[in-house]
Amino acid sequence: MGNTIQRRLFLKRLAKGSKHPNIPTVENNNSNHPSQFTFKAEGVQSGVAPYTGAWTEKEMIHLLRRVCFGAAKKDVDKIKGMTLSAAVDFLIDNPVLPASLPLNNYTTGTDTGGVVFGSSWFDAGLPDPVDTNGTTLKATLNNNRINNSFKPWWLGRMINQQPHIHEKITLFWYNHFGTNNGYNRAKAAFQHHKILRTYGLGDFRTLLKQVTIDPHMLFFLSGYTNTKSAPNENYGRELQELFTVGKGPDSHYTEDDVRAAAKVLTGWRIAESTTDSTVTASFNATLHDTTNKQFSAFYNNTIITGQTGAKGANETDALIDMILTTNECAKYVVRRLYIWFVYSNITADIEANVIAPLADVFRSSGYNIATVLKALFKSEHFFDPLNYGGIIKSPVDLYVSMIREFNLTLAAAPVDIQYAHWKSFTDRCSTESQNIGDPPNVAGWPAYYQVDTRFYETWMSNATIQVKAKNLNAFTNAGVTVSGVKLKVDSVAFNKQFLNAGDPNAVINNSILYLLPRELDQTQKEYMKSILLNNQVNDTYWTSAWNDYLASPTNTTTLGIVQKRLDTLINYMTSLAEYLLY
């Protein structure tokens, strides 16, 4: 048997073998889209009624894969004694902000901003250097702080996450409010990150207000240039088109609404400290348009009354409140959450049975994000068999999940080695078109665009799938050396987590359960078992080898025998198309 299974054949096999009345269908795709295949689930009719089915490791792992990055066995063990409802609450309630901050890991001694090696540049209270005589000291410093410090630090938070949605929802909002770091202001970029972390599970109204007046967003969409004499429509447009009501069939905001929103938002400015390089937002009433702003029938012909002086800032709150009164705002945000956490294709059935009722939950809760997420993750639809393995892993999900599933050991010290290990993975993600902190444009990463549901297949393009296969093979085979330290999946330790690790049938079943989103057929299982048995026929061939290892775990001979077979097994499993799905 070959060492990979084509994803198209995999999906056809699912369709053929499904016992579900609404089986997946496979379509040919002859367009110029970089992916050569597509698939979709048709006619899913399950809704948001509470799920009452089985609650076993299979369902727990599905929940953890969607809510977190991967399903580490230690995290499954944490929720085993909980009911489904209690487990979902545990994974969403009481988020804890990271205790650490990004550090100066990029230069020995002291950087050009005065921050010593190993110290945080975000709270250092020191001014950035001033470029003189054509130098680019400030640009170089900010590039180091963003690309070599902040981004690796962020990936480190994902790798070391608690069993909680906090990391996944932070990345979701980074995609939703797509910004990049083209302005080279590291402190503003990190402040934006903190906003998404702090408010990402609270109420959407507060999150939206914080993002609207966030210096990083004011830089990115030119809000700081928006004045009564020269209104800038950038943010007013994206606020509606991408952040709140979208461009769906029931979203009928107008160009006049864009212009009116721009006028409402005039006067917001950015203040950059010359003493400690902090960046704050302020409201300049003299630059604010104080006229009344008329909106269209989509917004019930609302008039936002122009206000003078400091009260002009209150118009921003009135604008947000007006947008949130539309039915379409709740539905649009729920659709974005659905695409991120459940499936890429929203059919008419899903719109009626899932999106609309969840939008009602969202509105009635006062736009509480945690409330609508709980309703989704506790629903029968979330655990519908068609939704298992229906998402292609993004590069971040692929590599962070791999590290967490296999408990891959990265350096915890010294600082430069620790960050080098984290950065080795941010670089891999960037190579595969997911540069965290820098989506390609304000719409986020193309895989999550709604205008073409096939965009999610960009994570499986002809170019990136070869890179993924090469990288996964390296980590599960010889290992990858980063800064003098070999990073390699420990297949023996992975198997040792399970009490029945000496039973070859159990080894196969455990590995499939924890690494793949769908069951494999018996032919594949027999092939995998032949790896453990070294093509022998008696199960005791593996059992004896494993028991010999347990009796003498430091013996290089007994260790080598089981490690070679388990390495081959894990290498095979991570080369399957199924491993790229969750």
- Give the pLDDT confidence of 25-59 residue by residue, as tens digits: 333 333 333 333 333 444 467 999 999 999 999 99
* pLDDT digit string, tens, across residues 488-526: 999 999 999 999 999 999 999 999 999 999 999 999 999
Q: In angstroms, rounded to a whole number, what is the distance separating the alpha carbons of residues 174 and 384?
A: 28
Q: Are 582 and 393 in contact (CB under 8 A)?
A: yes
What is the separation, in whole angstroms, between the first and last Cα of the chain? 24
Residue with the two structure tokens 């002086």: 309
- CA torsion angle 456 462 464 467 (round to 10): 150
At residue 258, the pLDDT reads: 98
Nearest to 394 by CA among 337, 461, 347: 461
**70: which 2 tokens?**
């991967």
306: amino acid identity, one letter: G
At residue 88, the pLDDT reads: 98
* pLDDT digit string, tens, across residues 268-306: 999 988 888 899 999 999 999 999 999 999 999 999 999
Q: In angstroms, rounded to a whole number, what is the distance separating the alpha carbons of residues 82 and 456?
A: 33
At residue 38, the pLDDT reads: 38
**169: which 2 tokens?**
């929802």
Q: What percent of the chain has pLDDT over 70?
A: 92
Measured from the Cβ of residue 199, the count of other Cβ atoms closer than 10 Å reads 19
**Burial of residue 8 (number of CB atoms within 10 Å: 0-12, 13-18, 19+):** middle
Is the pLDDT at 451 greater than 70? The verdict is no
Is the pLDDT at 365 greater than 90? The verdict is yes
**523: which 2 tokens?**
């032919």
Per-residue pLDDT, averaged over 17-26, amounts to 33
Query: Under DSSP, is residue 368 helix (H, G, I), strand (E, B) or coil?
Result: strand
Q: In angstroms, rounded to a whole number, what is the distance separating the alpha carbons of residues 546 and 561?
A: 9
pTM (predicted TM-score): 0.92
At residue 28, the pLDDT reads: 33
Residue with the two structure tokens 């066995």: 73
At residue 532, the pLDDT reads: 97
Q: In angstroms, rounded to a whole number, what is the distance separating the alpha carbons of residues 532 and 568?
A: 9
Q: Are 265 and 316 in contact (CB under 8 A)?
A: yes
Is the pLDDT at 410 greater than 80? The verdict is yes
Residues in the chain: 582
Per-residue pLDDT, averaged over 55-84, amounts to 98
Nearest to 261 by CA among 294, 307, 224, 297: 294
| Beta-strand relationship, 303-304 and 480-482 | unpaired
105-119, 124-138, 198-212, 468-482: least confidently modelled range: 124-138
Of the spans 40-54, 141-155, 177-191, which averages the highest pLDDT?
A: 141-155
Annotate 26-50 with b (16+ C-beta within 10 A) or e (fewer): beeeeeeeebebbbbbeebebbbee
Per-residue pLDDT, averaged over 555-566, amounts to 97
**112: which 2 tokens?**
């050009």
Is the pLDDT at 154 greater than 80? The verdict is yes
What is the DSSP annotation of 107-140?
SSSB-TTSPBTTSBSTTS--PPPPP-TT--HHHH
Q: Report in angstroms the alpha-carbon separations of 311 from 173, 283, 318, 321, 375.
A: 29, 10, 11, 16, 38
**59: which 2 tokens?**
């369902």
- Assign 3-class secondary structure to 311-345: HHHHHHHHHHHHHHCCHHHHHHHHHHHHHHHCCCC
Report, in angstroms and rounded to the nearest whole number, the Rg of the chain calculated over CA atoms: 26
Per-residue pLDDT, averaged over 180-193, amounts to 91
Per-residue pLDDT, averaged over 236-259, amounts to 96
Is the pLDDT at 447 greater than 60? The verdict is yes
pLDDT band at residue 5, thresholds of 50, 70 and 90?
very low
Nearest to 284 by CA among 263, 269, 306: 269
Measured from the Cβ of residue 69, the count of other Cβ atoms closer than 10 Å reads 27
Q: Are 100 and 122 in contact (CB under 8 A)?
A: no
At residue 12, the pLDDT reads: 40
Q: In angstroms, rounded to a whole number, what is the distance separating the alpha carbons of residues 64 and 341?
A: 11
Nearest to 41 by CA among 70, 66, 20: 20
